[in-house]
Amino acid sequence: MKVAVLGASGNAGSEIVRELARRGHDVYAIARKPDAIPDLPRVSRIAGDAHDPAALATLILGTDAVISALHFDVTADTLLTALRQAGVGRLLVTGGAASLEVAPGVRLIDSPDFPAEWRAFAMGGIAFLDALRSVEDIDWTFFSPAALFEAGERTGQYRLGTDTLLTDDAGVSRISFADYAIAMVDELEAHRHPRARFTAAY
């Protein structure tokens, strides 16, 4: 597949680029600082700013899917406008964990120990997911990571869920950027969650 990755120089984005290249996909890796994107075979490193939908549409033209690993200061409307202008019908989004439920009807962001300094960023992710849920003309998937989303080993192991935060036997919710990337590319290829949110953790 030809796949555009937005935010390709970041922690999650760079691992997604590596995983796509490892599996033989053609990658249009887009970031404001393309020199920070992994320099790999089948990866085209492209300078671009996703805040401008018309400019972004020209960069993603001809791709089969777009994977966003952007911060949520770029809105769902901006990305969807770019996809529509470019005629790209599939969007996969690196989401946030805050909207996952920790108990029936109780989201992670609603729990008393949710860090206050993360709240504004987390609300951006929640708004993004809410916007996607009414979209029918783009095949979207919102992939929420575990609560702890961090550098670590590439194990190739993970468990899948939908709307509930996954934890291990010790009550820890965690996944590495590398294993998240494996799960993201697995979703791209297997297409298990069209117009839906899912999550993964150890």
pLDDT tens-digit map of 127-140: 999 999 999 999 99
- In SS3 terms, 148-159 reads as EEECCCCCCCCE
Assign residue 171 a region (left: φ > 0; alpha: ψ between -120 and 50; beta: otherwise): left
Average pLDDT value for the chain: 97
Of 170, 80, 171, 93, residue with least CA distance to 126: 93
Residue ranges of E strands in 69-181: 90-94, 101-103, 106-107, 139-144, 148-150, 159-161, 174-176
pLDDT band, residue 73 (cuts 50/70/90): very high
- pTM for the full model? 0.97
pLDDT of residue 132: 98
Q: Is 54 helix (H, G, I), strand (E, B) or coil?
A: helix
Residues 6+ apart with CB under 8 A from 187: 92, 141, 143, 193, 198
Name the band, by pLDDT with cuts 50, 70 and 90, for residue 60.
very high
pLDDT at 37: 97
Q: Which amino acid is at 64?
A: D
Backbone angles phi and psi of 60, in degrees to 5: -100, 0
User: Which tens digits make up the pLDDT trace of 102-153?
Assistant: 999 999 999 998 999 999 889 999 999 999 999 999 999 999 999 999 999 9
